Amino acid sequence: MKRIFNLILGALAMLVVALLSAFISMRLAIHGREVTVPNLTGLSIADASKQANAVGLRVNLENRFYSPTTPPGLVLAQSPSPGVTVRREWAVRITESLGAQQVAIPNVLGQSERTASINIRRLGLDLGVIAHVPTDAEPGIVLAQTPNPNTSAQSPRVSLLVSEPEEVDAPPPGFVMPSLTGLTLASASARVAPIGIRIVEDVNAFTIPTSGIVTKADVTAGATIIAQTPAAGHRVTKGAAVHITLTN
Q: The CATH number of the domain where 81 resides is what?
A: 3.30.10.20
- pLDDT at residue 168 in the model: 64
Among 114, 131, 165, which residue terminates a domain?
165
Please tell me the pTM assigned to this model: 0.37
Q: Same structural domain for residues 81 and 111?
A: no
- pLDDT at residue 132 in the model: 87
Among 165, 186, 202, which residue terminates a domain?
165
Residues 142, 113 contacting (CB under 8 angstroms) = yes
3-class secondary structure per residue, the chain:
CHHHHHHHHHHHHHHHHHHHHHHHHHHHHHHHCEEECCCCCCCEHHHHHHHHHHCCCEEEEEEEECCCCCCCCEEEEEECCCCCEEECCCEEEEEEECCCCCEECCCCCCCEHHHHHHHHHHCCCEEEEEEEEEECCCCCEEEEEECCCCCEECCCEEEEEEEEECCCCCCCCEEECCCCCCCEHHHHHHHHHHHCCEEEEECCCCCCCCCCCCCHHHHHCCCEEEEEECCCCCEEECCCEEEEEEEC
Q: Which residue has the higher pLDDT, 1 or 179?
A: 179
Overall domain count for the chain? 3
Confirm whether 23 is domain-assigned.
no
Among 101, 127, 143, which residue terminates a domain?
101
Q: Same structural domain for residues 153 and 187?
A: no
Confirm whether 15 is domain-assigned.
no
Range of the domain at 44: 34-101
Q: Same structural domain for residues 112 and 147?
A: yes
- pLDDT at residue 212 in the model: 40
List, for residues 159-199, the tens digit of each pLDDT value.
999 998 877 666 677 788 888 888 888 888 888 888 888 88
List, for residues 193-234, the tens digit of each pLDDT value.
888 888 887 655 444 444 444 445 555 556 788 888 888 878
- pLDDT at residue 183 in the model: 84
Q: Same structural domain for residues 224 and 185?
A: yes
Confirm whether 153 is domain-assigned.
yes
Confirm whether 26 is domain-assigned.
no
Residues 157, 128 contacting (CB under 8 angstroms) = yes
Confirm whether 2 is domain-assigned.
no
Confirm whether 29 is domain-assigned.
no
List, for residues 70-124, the tens digit of each pLDDT value.
899 999 999 989 999 898 889 999 999 988 877 788 999 999 999 999 999 888 8
Residues 159, 212 contacting (CB under 8 angstroms) = no
Q: Same structural domain for residues 88 and 107?
A: no
Distance between CA atoms of residues 98 and 142, nearest Å: 33
Q: Same structural domain for residues 178 and 213?
A: yes
The reply to whether omega before 80 is within 30° of 0 (cis) is yes
Q: Same structural domain for residues 182 and 226?
A: yes
